[in-house]
Structure 1
Amino acid sequence: MKRVAIFPGSFDPFTKGHEDIVLRGLKIFDEIVIGMGYNSQKANRYFEIEYMEEKINDTFRDVPEVSVMVYNELTASLASKIGASAILRGLRNTTDFEYENSISQVNRDLNEKLETIFLITSPELAAVNSSIIREVHRYGGDVQKYLPYTL
């Protein structure tokens, strides 16, 4: 049976840290679906979702085990629809763990077959954060070294 995981997030933008989690996740899963969700806590995106979807698809163009989809529903529901048995998430620090732990508990309550797998961010990428990258970009700073594609 194929082991499918969903890697959900707003990915605004998708960073080298996200790419690292996906590539390392492929050592555990046969297929990873990068789920670009609409986050109700984030009213406005910095990068258009279609643009970021294109950039992520381009990043993994030579990796057929990775696909990208945009969704607007509960992650646990989407996981059921696509046959994912796990949610893949990256953790940079203990603050991430506290936040992600709560979400994983609710997802498990919504879909008892769904496990959340946490991967610790590679040390050299631990400081990479989409919010910081957006700020640097907004004020004209060079963000290319943080991204696996060219803006």
Structure 2
Amino acid sequence: MTKTGVYPGTFDPITNGHLDVIKRALKIFDELIVAVAMSSYKKTPIFTVEERVHFIAQTTKDLKNLKVEVFDGLLVNFIKEKKAVAIVRGLRAVSDYEFELQLAHANRRLFRDIETVFLMPSEEYSFLSSSLVKEIAYFGGSVKSLVPPIVEKALRNKFKK
């Protein structure tokens, strides 16, 4: 049986920290699905879902056993549909833990058979978030070392002043 993991998020945009977690997860699972959330009641993405999928697909095209798919609605429904065994989540710092624990418990309440696997990014990415990247780019700072080149270019174009 293939062990499939699902790494969900808005990925608005994908960062080098996300890529680090993807590569680590591929060492654990036979297959990994990067599940791009179409919408979120909390966040309004600056990039369309098509752009976000494109950034991820282009950045990960050389990785084996990886799929990039869009989902909308409850993650557990997507998990069931894909017959995945685990949700992959990145934990950057203690501040992430409480929120991630709540999510893991809520997902387990909705679907008893699902596990959540927490992976820490490399130390060099432990501070990194999409929100931080967008803020740096918005104010004209360089995000070259924080995101893939395709994303860096898209952010520069998005925030041209």
TM exceeds 0.5?
yes
Query: Which TM-score band (shorter chain)?
Result: over 0.9
Q: Quick one: percent identity of the two aligned structures?
A: 35
Which letter does structure 1 place at the counterpart of 2:70?
V
Distance 2:79 2:144 in 1: 32
1:79 matches 2:114: no
Report the counterpart of residue 113 of structure 1 in structure 2.
Answer: 113
Report runs of 4+ in structure 1 exceeding 4 Å deviation.
none
Which letter does structure 2 place at the counterpart of 1:52?
R
Structure 1-normalised TM-score? 0.95
Distance 1:126 1:39 in 2: 24
Measure how far apart 1:149 and its partner are.
3.4
Distance 2:35 2:144 in 1: 23
Report the counterpart of residue 9 of structure 1 in structure 2.
Answer: 9
C-alpha RMSD over aligned residues: 1.0
Q: Secondary structure at the match of 1:146?
A: coil
Which letter does structure 2 place at the counterpart of 1:76?
V
Measure how far apart 1:127 and its partner are.
1.2
Report the counterpart of residue 41 of structure 1 in structure 2.
Answer: 42
Structure 2-normalised TM-score? 0.89
Measure how far apart 1:128 and its partner are.
1.0
1:96 matches 2:96: yes
Distance 2:138 2:15 in 1: 16
Structure 2 unaligned blocks of 5 or more: 154-161
Distance 1:84 1:149 in 2: 31
- Would the aligned equivalents of 1:137 and 1:143 in 2 still touch at CA under 8 Å? yes
Structure 1 unaligned blocks of 5 or more: none
Distance 1:35 1:126 in 2: 21
